[in-house]
Each structure stands twice: as structure tokens, then as C-alpha cells.
């Protein structure tokens, strides 16, 4: 009977360790799967963009422009960082995504160092990601902000 108990405890500990490793390991996916899943069920009506590079800003309310921007951002492959990351950058782009009820849903900050922080405002949840490919066209973002 003692052997059965020891075997059960052993396998329970192994299962717990495997689950813990899986939970703590960084997840890799696309911007769409990580971030835009938080927007499902909400009608995005406005995106406010700000650039720290030249302190310009723009509010996008045209649904076609919103969809194009979200489509372009969706092309990025990103990996989630579980540990605290000290992000040092020269400039960043800040996006506040709002719903049709004019309440902020997400705040997305894209740094020139290929890091992204996402603040899910409703859930008070801040996460950091790293861009793993060149799917982000920063020239497009700069042009979009400059053309009011």
C-alpha cells in the first residue's frame, strides 16, 4: 500500500511540474491571436494613435481605416514575455483602441526596439511581447499619423 501511495505522489508531482513549465513558458503567436481576441464581441469605433517620436497624434474613426490598421498589425508574429522587461527605446507608437460605447478597451504601445506592451484596460492586465519578425511597417505607422 505504501508503494502505491508513493507512486501516486510521484506522478502527481511530475504532472504539477509539467503544468507549471507549460504555464510559465513564453507563448508565440500572431498579434491577432494574442491581442485582437480581447476585442471580440466589441465594436471598435476609434483608435487614437500617438507617436513619441514627434508628439503627433491622430484619431481614426473610419471603419475601413481601422480594419486596415488592425489587419497590418495582425501580420506581426510575437512572443509573450513572462518576466519583467526593462524596455529602453528612443520612440514608440501608442494606440488606444475604443469601443462604440466610447470606452477604452486596449492600449497597445509598440516600441522601436521591437517590444510591445498591451494593457487590457477592462481586466487591468498588462503584458509584454517581443516582435519576432518584420511584419510591422513602421513607415506606414509614421505616415498614418502624419496624414490627418
Mean pLDDT of 9-32: 75
Interior/surface letters 36-61, b for 16+ CB within 10 angstroms, e for the rest? bebbeebebebbbbbbeeeeeeeebe
Which pLDDT band holds residue 37 (cuts at 50, 70, 90)?
low
Instruction: Identify the pLDDT of residue 35.
Output: 62
3 is a domain residue: no
76 is a domain residue: yes
Q: Which residues pair with 57 in a beta bridge?
A: 50
Instruction: Identify the pLDDT of residue 61.
Output: 87
Range of the domain at 86: 26-146
Mean pLDDT of 109-120: 85
pLDDT at 40 over 60: no
The percent of residues in the chain predicted with pLDDT above 90, rounded, is 0
Q: In total, how many domains does the chain have?
A: 1
Instruction: Identify the pLDDT of residue 148.
Output: 58
66 is a domain residue: yes
Could you tell me which residue, 24 or 2, shows the higher pLDDT?
Answer: 2
130 is a domain residue: yes
70 is a domain residue: yes
CATH code: domain of residue 63: 3.30.1490
Amino acid at each position: 500500500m505504501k508503494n502505491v501511495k508513493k507512486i501516486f505522489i510521484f506522478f502527481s508531482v511530475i504532472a504539477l511540474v509539467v503544468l507549471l513549465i507549460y504555464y510559465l513558458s513564453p507563448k508565440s503567436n500572431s498579434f491577432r491571436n494574442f491581442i485582437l481576441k480581447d476585442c471580440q464581441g466589441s465594436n471598435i469605433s476609434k483608435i487614437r494613435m500617438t507617436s513619441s517620436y514627434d508628439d503627433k497624434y491622430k484619431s481614426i474613426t473610419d471603419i475601413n481605416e481601422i480594419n486596415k490598421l488592425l489587419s497590418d498589425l495582425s501580420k506581426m508574429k510575437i512572443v509573450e514575455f513572462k518576466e519583467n522587461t526593462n524596455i529602453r527605446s528612443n520612440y514608440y507608437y501608442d494606440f488606444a483602441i475604443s469601443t462604440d460605447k466610447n470606452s477604452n478597451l486596449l492600449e497597445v504601445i509598440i516600441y522601436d526596439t521591437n517590444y510591445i506592451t498591451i494593457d487590457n484596460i477592462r481586466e487591468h492586465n498588462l503584458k509584454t511581447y517581443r516582435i519576432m519578425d518584420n511584419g510591422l511597417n513602421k513607415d506606414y505607422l509614421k505616415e498614418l499619423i502624419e496624414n490627418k
